[in-house]
Chain A
Amino acid sequence: MFGLTRSLDIDAQALEKRYLALSRECHPDLLRTQEVGDCAAVLQRSAEVNDAFSILRDPWRRARALLETASPGVLDRNKKLDPTFLADALELAEEVAFAKQEHVQPLQRRLAACVDADWAALRTAIEHGDLDAAARRFHASHYHKKALSDLELKA
């Protein structure tokens, strides 16, 4: 739809430019004089463009869409994560839950680094064509992001 190469990293400027161009083409307000039947199609099209844009501009949602397009069901097939990782995730969650005020910032930095590492690993896995590993890392990132958002509630 956006005519961009399908990849994990995209040119944000090009994406926005395409989005604006597409929006103009199908903006309901600009096409008011058209037939009523066309109107529904235009609305539908404009909703699709908006959905696609909101997915593509968010790196993690983009990654999810990329994985699912390349291998449908890959996320579902890789839901079982390594128990050692899960045990660590549990410890992190505990740390977040009991973090004293002075530990919030360092912990925030640590978790943000975990999310960055997840992203880097996801990228490497996709580059190597290992979509299963990429899907597992995608799931793993969830735990770090959840811990981070829990921590933000305390900050």
Chain B
Amino acid sequence: MAYSDKVLDHYQNPRNVGSLDKNDPNVGTGVVGAPECGDVMKLQIRVDDSGKIVEAKFKTYGCGSAIASSSLATEWLKGTSVDAAAQIKNTQIVEELSLPPVKIHCSVLAEDAIKAAIEDWRTKKSALSGKSALSGIAAEAKS
């Protein structure tokens, strides 16, 4: 089985490799894995106040297709809104990278990682707004 040129390109020159501070409230982190093949994918997004993804980073331990899928995902994520990012489907990744059927699970992993990162960011956001709501009640009770 031969890798497509696009997979090779992402594999040899992966985009946006690295990490963001996972404790930053504006950063969402998704870590997912495929136990059968021992692949792990970490994908992180930094979201601004308007809900736009301003930065995306990844680290992947796995085959060329897994690396390419996550590298491509970070390219697509940057500059898009969180809501649009949530709509990204693994089939789009398959199409763009011409992944063969045996490598489709790599694109599924990338989609899962995107969803997990968004979920993490949303959880952080709602926890924060929950806190400020609580402090509001306390302030009212005091006055």
Contacts and interface: CB of A to CB of B under 8 A. Distances in A.
B42 A87 contact: yes
A146 interface: yes
Interface string A88-128: 01100110010000000000000000000000000000000
Given A87-B42, A90-B40, A143-B38, A81 B61 contact: no
B31 A143 contact: no
Interface residues of A, number: 17
Nearest to B38: A146
Secondary structure type dominating chain B contacts: strand
B38 A86 contact: no
Contact of B40 (A80, A93, A145): A93
B38 A90 contact: no
Contact of B116 (A83, A97, A139): A83
B33 A81 contact: yes
A43 B98 CA distance: 43
Contacts of A89: 33, 40, 61
A142 interface: yes
Contact of A83 (B31, B36, B59): B31
Contacts of A140: 35
6 contacts: A80-B32, A81-B35, A83-B31, A87-B42, A90-B42, A93-B61
Interface of A: 79-81, 83, 86-87, 89-90, 93-94, 97, 139-140, 142-143, 145-146
